[in-house]
Amino acid sequence: MPRSRTASRARRSLSDIRTVAVLAAAGLLLTGCTAAGKAGGSDSAKSADDAAVKVGLVYSRTGLLADYGKQYRDGFMAGLDYATKGTREVAGHRIEVTEQDDAGDPGKAVSAAKNLIGKGYKVLAGTTDSGVALQMAPLAAQNKVLYVSGPAATDAVTGINGYTFRSGRQSYQDILTAGTMLGDAKGKKVTVLAQDSTFGQANVAAVKAVLGGKGAKVGSVLAPPSATDLTPFARQVKAGGPDLVFVAWAGSTAPALWTALDQQGVLGASKVVTGLAGTASYPIFGAAGSKVSFLAHYFPGAGGNNAVEKAMLDAVKKDGGRPDLFTPDGFTAAQMIVHAVEEGGATDTAAMVKALEGWSFDGVKGQTRVRG
């Protein structure tokens, strides 16, 4: 995957971090490397100058990743108000948002997206689940609509087509940071413990690409997403005798996982690294927490309380929400969409794409650049 660098007032780009640190420094947002096709077209029955911009927010309101979905949604609404100065209008265009629940199911997401596109929606956003993102991106290209993926971390979304952008990090960036905790990777044994899902498989692929490329021997232990008894998988990890265990886990079974890893002695036998989930998840580690090395791409305050971050935190709290891990992903997506409409118009999706490519702006995590 090509790597780019972005300017930052105080911190380094996500992909340039070389020390154990928060992954939420200056943002680097990713888009496809192919050129966009022709415009989605204007509605001949309505003046483009007066057209409302219909945005379909397709995210996990329910399901395994519902907490992440709410964080994203809260951030998006706060970002929309921030970017439009509270008017929900930009360049004379009203921004109308319709929310759809995909429940983490690619089939439901595609069905909802097709319905929205059929009603004239030119912009889609919100994806929480990696499997959903991989189905939404081709649909966006086929129908020439702008698609801004959210917390879905699979690397495969990057570069998938010219209509697809992402407002959050990707697995590759997580692994770059985790690798700093291993030291010299040559000859080391690394095990990826994850769910057998698109997200989990993407993490295995990223570890093989990053650490395997540096000489590590990479294996994996994958558990069914529906599994609740995780002791057998913890035993399997322990039996392999890895130098480093990278845990990529999401959802409500996390407490059972960490209990199993601790009880089976994995945490005392190997270096164990994982990404921090939302703040509400911190207590789930219990006694195991002191035996785990953590990385995080955001927590409230990680942006240094810059003006944009403060605006996001204040707005979400005012509306009764709780800023958390994926709140910036939603906020950033809203900033991107408002800019795309301001520069590209309400109906010309090719112009929206062009407006976003290479755009730099002040974001929640600092100076941020969209990578084209």
**Please, which pLDDT band fits residue 171 given cuts at 50, 70 and 90?**
confident
Span 175-186, pLDDT tens digits: 988 888 888 999
With beta carbons less than 8 A apart as the criterion, state whether 365 and 25 touch: yes
Q: Of 93, 66, 88, 89, give the one whose Cα is nearest residue 78.
A: 88
pTM of full prediction above 0.85: no
With beta carbons less than 8 A apart as the criterion, state whether 360 and 371 touch: no
Name the token pair of 46: 């309505």
H or E, element range at 96:
strand 93-101
H or E, element range at 274:
strand 271-275
pLDDT for res 97: 98
pLDDT at 17 over 70: no
25-169+302-371 has which fold? Rossmann fold (3.40.50)
pLDDT for res 2: 33
Residue with tokens 């570890």: 207
pLDDT for res 356: 98
pLDDT for res 372: 67
**Please, which pLDDT band fits residue 116 given cuts at 50, 70 and 90?**
very high
Beta strand pairing call for 146-149 and 164-166: parallel
As a CATH number, domain 172-295 is 3.40.50.2300
**Please, which pLDDT band fits residue 8 given cuts at 50, 70 and 90?**
very low
Comma-separated ranges of CATH 3.40.50.2300 domains in the chain:
25-169+302-371, 172-295
